[in-house]
Structure formats: C-alpha cells, structure tokens
Amino acid sequence: AGKLYLVPTPIGNLKDMTLRAKETLENVDLIAAEDTRTTGKLLGLLGIETSGKLVSFHEFNAKEKAPELVTQILAGHSLAQVSDAGMPVISDPGYELVQSAIAANIAVVSLPGPAAFTTALIASGLTAQPFTYYGFLPRKKKQQTDFLTEISRQKETAIFYEAPHRIRATLANLGETVGLNRQVVVARELTKLHEEYLRGTVAELIEHFETVEPRGEMVVLMGGYVESEKPTATLAELAVVVDQLV
C-alpha cells in the first residue's frame, strides 16, 4: 500500500513551503486538494509539476471521497493531502481521510509546517503552555456568548480564528463575557506584507477597532483567567455582588 502524506502549504508567504513538502508533492501519485485551482496555482508558482495528479477533496465531498482515496492508497498509490493554506485538518478538510486511513492500516505521515495558530501563539507573548485551539468561534451571538461564558474561567491561553467583518462584534462579546480587562492579541496577516500583532486588553482592542477598519486574516488569542484579575463586572455579576452586599 502507499502512504497518506499530510502536507502543509504557506499561509501567505510562498517561501514558507518546506523542501520536504515540495519534494513530497513532486513524488506522490495523487494530490487531494481542497481547491484544485488554488493548489494548482500555488504549485505552479513553486515550480512543482503536478499534471494529472490533482483530485478534489473538500468539506462537502469528504465523507464519500475519503473511502475512494483510501482504496487508491491500498492499491499502491501514494497520496498527499493539502488544503488551501496551512496545515490540513486544522479548521480545514482532512479529518475523515486520516480516520479512514488509520482504519485501513495505512501509514499516515504528517509533515510539519505553517499553521496560523502556532505562528501567532509563539509571538503573542501569551503563555504557550498550556493552550487550547478552538478553531472558528460560533457565529451566532447567542451561541458565541454561551461558548465564551463556558470558557471564561479557563486558565490556559485560548486561540480562535475569526473573520475581519466579525471581529468588532466578537471583541464586544468578549467584553461582556470574560470582561474588558482580559489580555487579548489579534494577529493579522501573518507572514504577509501587512503582518501585525495587536496586543492589549479587550477594552484597548475595542478602542483600536473603533477608528481602524478591521482587515485581513486574523487569529485571536485570549490570555487565561487569572484569579487576581479584576474582571469588569458584567451586569449579571454586578447583580450578584449587590445581592451579597445587602
């Protein structure tokens, strides 16, 4: 049988393609790509010859496609899986394929390389051990509020992916759930021309985005809960304190 290679691709800067990732894509028989056009373009820019190797594998066909790809690997073909950017599986397709490969006793080879959350974490200045990566935050206000409330007292660094058009609402919601004094970092456009780290309290970042239009790809990192922290009381918390006083 062949092997399943999980191959990371750059999150913005083409030079972050590793030598091994390039070599693997050149040598495999098949490349399962989230978007064959995006990957075709990337590989073209990197001078990687892939004619006839690209097959489509994305979130909407993953369930039916994974067993087919596994059959191909069992027949002796080596397969690399890539997403549009960064690590496969990390908020991207690949999970079903890994599961199916493991179930079929196929060797899964993970190539190290760029992922937005690790890139952001190590320069954020927040504790890197422990941390939790949550992927994209729930989009609906109620679900997001419930989720943020649930994790508000966790002590590890929390990492989220967020879209620029939602960041203002999300910061406002962080203010209401974890409090305005919590440390947050918004890491923007990593590895690209306009790379930027915005570090401060929730209140400071809300203020920043009052005058600056949020743009580009973003990772949001939130410091863990510290007991000495003076949380900005939410209305609900204030009501509890007042109850205790009277």
Site residues (vs ligand SAM, CB under 6 A): 11-12, 83, 85-87, 90-92, 115-117, 161-162, 187, 189-192, 217-219
- With respect to ligand SAM, which residue has the nearer C-beta, 159 or 180? 159
Q: How big is the CA angle at 56 (ends 4 and 21), to the nearest 5 degrees?
A: 45
The distance of closest approach from Cβ of residue 37 to ligand SAM in the complex, given in angstroms and rounded to an integer, is 16
Please report how close the Cβ of residue 167 comes to ligand SAM at its closest, in angstroms. 10
Q: Given the complex with ligand SAM, which of 12 and 223 has the nearer CB atom?
A: 12
Shortest reach from residue 191's CB to ligand SAM, in Å: 5
How far is the C-alpha of 75 from the C-alpha of 90, rounded, in Å?
A: 28
Instruction: Locate 174 and state its tokens.
Output: 């962080």
Tokens coding 73: 């690997």
| Residues 6+ positions from 22 with CB-CB distance below 8 Å | 46, 48
- Give the residue closest to ligand SAM by C-beta: 86
CA–CA distance, 76 with 56 (Å, rounded to integer): 19
Nearest approach, Cβ of 168 to ligand SAM (angstroms)?
15
Shortest distance in whole angstroms from residue 34 CB to ligand SAM = 9
Q: Which is nearer to ligand SAM, 20 or 77 (CB)?
A: 20
- Cα 212 to Cα 3, 42, 152, 193, distances in angstroms: 47, 31, 27, 18
